[in-house]
Every structure is written in structure tokens, then in C-alpha cells.
Amino acid sequence: MTDVADTLPAEPATLDQTDAVERTLVLVKPDGVRRGLSGEVLRRIEAKGYTLAAVELKQATPELLAAHYAEHEGKPFYAPLVDFMLSGPTLAVVAVGQGVIPGFRSLAGATNPTEAAPGTIRGDLGRDWGLKVQQNLVHGSDSPESAAREIGLWFPNL
Ligand code: RTP
Ligand code: MG
């Protein structure tokens, strides 16, 4: 005799999951914190369905930024970018979920807030302020390798 429970579909949580859970580093940059948009960024991450694994308000140091932005050293916007990132506290966040690395980049929108699509964080909340570097509210890791490296820099104890 078959038990009724055996014929029911499995709960979603017990289905085999084929995609590995990813982690990404999100930063609400000093312009976003200053403008009171930290909560709005966290709200969008959570509304999308991702989970917050760590959230900490931090004042970046020149050493941390030199490591975080090593790939941009020598570019014309490097020095203004570091100055901007030192201009106030940053909210550092680890967000978790399948596809969260490209998923958050999609929520963030294009680097230039003027070009970022409406509906994105940068498109809805950012603009060009005529400064030496784009103040574009958020950072998101761009690959699994970057995410692992950046999480290690911002959350050495995680
Ligand atoms: P992020 O790393 O912050 O998530 O941004 P992204 O990948 O979209 O942009 P990326 O090319 O990595 O540049 C890092 C940050 O540098 C500033 N930037 N300004 N021409 C400019 O004014 C310019 N180019 C880059 C932005 O703050 C950008 O997010
Ligand atoms: Mg980048």
C-alpha cells in the first residue's frame, strides 16, 4: 500500500539544487551612505530574494582600497576614486544566493549612472554630479574570484 505522503511532490527545500550558492561583496559607497540609501540598497537585495550574511559600516583605509582597487591602479580615475572612497563610511555587505554575483550587478545597473537603466539602483537613485569620478552608490564583485578576494579583504574574520 502506498502512503499518501509518498505521492506528494517534495518540498522545494528538499529538491536537488544544481547551482552552487554564491557569495558576493556589495559596498554601499560613501555617497550612498551619506544620502541615506543604505536601507534602500539592502531592501532591493532582500526583495530580490538574496540573503544577507554580513553587514558592517566601515571606514575604509588607503591600504584596504589599494588592495580592493588594485586592478584600477594607474587609470586616470584611480586617485579620485580612492579619495571618494575615503570620504566617509562604507556599508560592506556579503549577499548570498544562486547567481548573486551577476544578479547584484544587474540590480546595480551600468557603471555610469546617467546610462544606467531605470529600475536599477544606479539608474533610479544615481546621477552625474560633474565630479572627477562617478559616484555611483554601490559596488558589486564581478566574478567568483573577485568575490572571494574582496570578501577576504572587507571581512577577514568571515
Ligand atoms: P564597481 O567595481 O564599483 O562595482 O563598479 P564597476 O565594476 O561598474 O566599475 P569599474 O570599472 O570596476 O570601476 C570602479 C569604479 O570606479 C569609478 N569609475 N569612474 N570614468 C569614470 O569616471 C569612472 N570609471 C570608473 C566608479 O565609481 C566605478 O564604480
Ligand atoms: Mg568593478
- Domains recognised in the chain with CATH numbers: 18-154 (3.30.70.141)
Q: Which residue has the cell 557569495?
A: 23
Each residue's pLDDT, cut to its tens digit, for the chain (158 residues) gives 455 555 555 555 556 777 889 999 999 999 999 999 999 999 999 999 999 999 999 999 999 999 999 999 999 999 999 999 999 999 999 999 999 999 999 999 999 999 999 999 999 999 999 999 999 999 999 999 999 999 999 999 99
Q: Which pTM was predicted? A: 0.90
Q: Give the Å distance between the CA of 81 and the centre of ligand 1.
A: 8
Residue 152: what pLDDT?
Answer: 98
* Nearest protein Cα to ligand 1, atom 17: 134
Q: Give the Å distance between the CA of 73 and the centre of ligand 2.
A: 12
Q: How far apart are CA 29 and CA 38, in angstroms?
A: 9
CA distances from 76 to 13, 14, 80, 151 (A): 48, 51, 8, 26
Query: What is the CA angle 127-104-146, rounded to 5?
Result: 105
Q: How far apart are CA 95 and CA 140, in angstroms?
A: 10
Q: Which three cell numbers stand for residue 35?
A: 544620502
Determine whether the shortest distance from the Cβ of 38 to ligand 1 is under 6 A: no
Q: How far apart are CA 158 and CA 152, in angstroms?
A: 7
Determine whether the shortest distance from the Cβ of 136 to ligand 1 is under 6 A: yes
Q: How far apart are CA 157 and CA 148, in angstroms?
A: 13
* Nearest protein Cα to ligand 1, atom 2: 139
Exposed, middle or buried, 142 (CB in 10 Å: 0-12/13-18/19+)? Answer: middle
Would you give the DSSP letter of residue 21? P
Residue 15: what pLDDT?
Answer: 63
Positions annotated as catalytic residues are 139
Q: Which ligand is nearest to the CA of 25?
A: 1
Determine whether the shortest distance from the Cβ of 134 to ligand 1 is under 6 A: yes
Q: Which ligand is nearest to the CA of 111?
A: 1
* Nearest protein Cα to ligand 1, atom 29: 111
